[in-house]
Amino acid sequence: MQRYGHLFTFERIVIGGTILLTLLIVGIIGLNSFQNRQVDIDDIVRIGGLQRGHQEGAAFADDETLPPAGGIHNPTWQNCGVYDTPIENQYAVHALEHGAVWITYRPDVPADQIERLQDLVSGTTHRLLSPYPGQESPIVVTAWGLQLTLDDANDGRLGQFIRNYEQGPQTPELGAVCSGGVGSPVR
């Protein structure tokens, strides 16, 4: 009799373990799907037909989207972080190719908004912040092939853009680093 009781206990453990494992797998898949769900953002500009490639001294024409959202760029990328002076397009675009989100602002943006932007970028691995004299909108947020213009750093679309597109599905070189390139961020 004891022999059959032992099998009954073993079967219960196997069945219980299988049920727990199944629930764990379903939970992980469900959580991952929920976290990766992208929310549509109003007013995003999608820029198609962007070439990829590396070229020393790559330049961007004034009639192109500025700041650029992709294109031929320098073989070296911009180190991600906060900059208080303008950075070169050719390096920033390479960081975009690595999955960075580049936030640019006009120098006349109020100091409290610049501080908010700095807080959003500081301590992250794939975000850039720099002034961009001459851009039309006060704030522009850019990922490879995507751009959003904003009037205010407190616009909720800014955070959603970062969640959707930092190392997002549009990234040509997903997983590439945003350090070890050029530039010394101040934060």
In tens, the pLDDT along 85-139 reads 999 999 999 999 999 999 999 999 999 999 999 999 999 999 999 999 999 999 9
45-165: CATH topology is Glutaredoxin (3.40.30)
Average pLDDT over residues 81-87: 98
- Pair type for strands 101-105 and 127-131: parallel
Amino acid letter at 99? G
List CB contacts of 141: < 8 A, sequence separation 6 or more. 101, 102, 103, 104, 147, 148, 150, 158, 161, 162
pLDDT at 4 over 60: no
pLDDT at 33 over 70: no
Angle, nearest 10°, between helix axes 156-165 and 111-121? Answer: 20
pTM of the model: 0.80
Specify burial of residue 30 (Cβ count, 10 A radius: 0-12, 13-18, 19+). Answer: exposed
Phi, psi of 20 (to 5 degrees): -60, -45
pLDDT confidence band for 30 (50 / 70 / 90): low
Range scoring the smallest mean pLDDT among 15-24, 47-56, 81-90, 93-102: 15-24
